[in-house]
Amino acid sequence: MSEFLARWSALIIAGVALVQVWFIALVKWLWKEFVKPGKIGIHKSGTIEVNYGDWGATIGLHGTFRALNRDLFVSTAWLELENLENKPKHKLEWILFRPPTAFAGESEVPVEPASGFMVRVSEPRRYNILFTDREIGENILLLLEDLKKKWQDAGAEAGQLDLLNKYTDPEERKREIKKVAQELYPQFREGEDVLEIQKALANICPWEAGRYKLVLVVETANPTRQFKKGWEFYLAKENADFLRWGNPLGMIDRHLGQGYFKPAPIFIRYKEIIS
């Protein structure tokens, strides 16, 4: 009898130990999947890309997102920009994804509209994201379209409309209209209409010399949480003046079909804010 009890006691103890192991594993899994919150780690790389162009004031960032504890779906991200010299704050929304190895200014860079993506614990995700102030971009388009109408009116006064009836061959007509435009544009570019729009574009440009605080906000879905990382950078006066006055003239040329200018960005080192 004692031998029987000893044998079953050993089996019961082994069974309890086995159940404990499975129970502990189950609890750990439930804790990881449903209780323990996940987290997105944000790791910057290289320099910040500051620009001013057709899309408004833009910032390009690249680095790596890392999921901790559980896989997370990033639904959106944006930047909170603040000039530390008591200037207005700006919110820049993500607009484009670029290849992680691409650099601004390259002639042919495949891009795609920004949209949500999964970041897995087992697979960190590299990012190269362009952010923009949409309100400034919309105001830029209104100004350029107003100038475009004046340019078309100037072309009509110079006889471009007469060429539509004079030439029946489409290619010949196109060449003659382009020739008239090239002869007319230098004078138009030096006129009051262009100067007025150039000043207006400079006035709505938010880039001024000084120190800036930049916060990247990454928002996840299911669960909805926000993760932030802050940096500071300094924009020198010569760079701010270039963005404010140099880029707008190129934007005007391109919008009026008289150039292939691409707004040139400024690359700046930035440091993490220690909280």
Only one residue has tokens 């800036």, namely: 212
Residue 191 lies in a domain: no
Are 89 and 4 within one domain? no
Separation CA 20–CA 87 (nearest Å): 61
Per-residue burial over 192-211, b = 16 or more CB atoms within 10 Å of its CB, e = otherwise? ebbeebbebbbebbbbeeee
Neighbours of 55 (CB within 10 A): 20
- 155: in domain: no
Residue 156 maps to a domain? no
Domain count across the chain = 2
Is 44 part of any domain?
A: yes
| Burial class of 30 by CB neighbour count within 10 A (0 to 12, 13 to 18, 19+) | exposed
- The pairing of beta strand 210-221 with beta strand 266-268: unpaired
Do both 29 and 133 map to the same domain? no
211: Cβ contacts below 8 Å, ≥ 6 apart: 83, 84, 85, 232, 233, 234
pLDDT of residue 18: 55
Are both 44 and 113 inside the same structural domain?
A: yes
pLDDT of residue 27: 46
Q: Which of 225, 239, 241, 228 is nearest to 267 (CA)?
A: 239
* Same-domain status, 132 and 1: no
List the domain range (segments joined by +) for residue 10: 1-36
Give the per-residue pLDDT at 264: 83
On whether both 10 and 66 belong to a single domain, the answer is no
Asked if residue 80 and residue 117 are part of one domain, the reply reads: yes
Please indicate, yes or no, if residue 150 is contained in any of the structural domains: no
Q: How far apart are CA 170 and CA 59, in angstroms?
A: 42
- 13 and 48 fall within a common domain: no
pLDDT of residue 240: 95
Q: Is 258 part of a structural domain of the chain?
A: yes
Both 86 and 129 in one domain: the answer is: yes
Same domain, 81 and 10: no
pTM (2 d.p.) = 0.79
Contact (Cβ atoms closer than 8 angstroms) between residue 65 and residue 128: no
- Dihedral pair phi/psi, residue 12, rounded to 5°: -65, -45
* Pair 110, 223 in one domain: yes
Q: What confidence score (pLDDT) does residue 35 get? A: 54
Q: Do 19 and 112 belong to one domain? A: no
Q: Report how far Cα 90 is from the mean position of its chain's Cα atoms.
A: 14
The predicted pLDDT at position 271 comes to 92
166-198 pLDDT tens trace: 556 667 666 766 777 788 888 889 999 999 999
Point out the residues of the chain with pLDDT beneath 50. Answer: 23, 27, 31, 105
Report if residue 149 sits inside a domain: no
| Structural domain contains residue 96 | yes
- pLDDT score, position 206: 93
Distances (CA, A) of 212 to 52, 94, 116, 155, 230: 16, 19, 28, 43, 11
- Rounded Cα–Cα distance for residues 95 and 28 (Å): 39
Same domain, 118 and 23: no
